[in-house]
Amino acid sequence: MKPVIGIAANEQTMIDTDSHWISYTPKNFITGIQNAGGLPVLLPIGAMEDAKSYIKKIDKLLLAGGQDVSPECYNALPQQKLGATNHRRDLFEIALVKEAVKVGKPIIGVCRGMQLLNVVFGGTLLQDLSFSKEPLLKHVQVPTPFELPTHPVEIDLNSHLGEFLPQSYQVNSFHHQAIDQLAPEFVVTATAPDGVVEGIESINHPIIGVQWHPELAYFTMEKEREFFAYIVQKFN
């Protein structure tokens, strides 16, 4: 039986009008899960009370990237450099996370997904990296193509990430926010040279998160293909 990986979907308009909306996830999440022997299923943004039914139908939950997490989720006010938010998405994904934790199903967070996990368990976010007190690396790698790595991270070898990644690793980078206060639920498993948190995992539950984008580097970096093999076949 192939493991069913539920991917929390995002929303956007197909054209410049509010009448043609689509629910979607980046194609390489689909490709990566399928090639790793899993069955990807999209979970469209919906009512919080439906989270229980969705989680029943999947084996693992994947939270993808996208908009900034609404500051109200971590009791903060919006600052000048906050990007676009979708609070309906926040609330629905929070409900999915809580239900998955309740029944013990694994959760994987990528970029925004990792940040949301930190928020769900009581952590906070830096709304823009420019607000850091220390000089930081370039974490939005434009105009460098997203499939190419641009900065190093240090991996904790005694972690889930350490099971398939080397201690020194290069990642792609496309985020203007980062974890500020780490939730007590998590330990840091990957760190950039400037101190920005690039990976976390739960102390009590099967939950991991990465700040970079394995899906964007799927065809150019072998280790990112191993990421999908790990989360589909080994992470429990």
Domains, the chain: 4-233 (3.40.50.880)
- Over residues 167-186, mean pLDDT: 97
Q: What angle do CA 59, 93, 110 make, to 5 degrees?
A: 75
- Strand 4-8 and strand 60-63: the pairing is parallel
Residue 33 has pLDDT above 70, yes or no: yes
Question: What confidence category does residue 17 fall into, taking pLDDT thresholds of 50, 70 and 90?
Answer: low
- Which pair of structure tokens corresponds to residue 1? 């039986």
Whether the pLDDT of residue 19 is over 70: the answer is: no
pTM of the model: 0.96
> How high is the pLDDT of residue 138?
94
Active site residue 215: yes
Selected catalytic residue, list 93, 175, 213, 224: 213
> Which residue among 99, 111, 160, 205 is the active-site one?
111
Q: pLDDT tens digits, residue range 193-234?
A: 999 999 999 999 999 999 999 999 999 999 999 999 999 999
Residue 114 identity: M
Active-site annotation holds for 151: no
- Residue 176 bears catalytic tag: no
- d(C-alpha 194, C-alpha 197), whole Å: 9
Q: Which of 93, 99, 201, 215 is catalytic?
A: 215
Q: In this predicted model, what pLDDT tens digit does every residue of 65-113 receive, in sequence order?
A: 999 999 999 999 999 999 999 999 999 999 999 999 999 999 999 999 9
Please give the structure tokens belonging to residue 46. Answer: 């919906």
pLDDT at 15: 66
Which of residues 13 and 30 earns the better pLDDT score?
A: 30
Sequence letter at residue 233: Q
- Is the distance from CB of 197 to CB of 117 less than 8 angstroms? no
* Amino acid in position 61: L
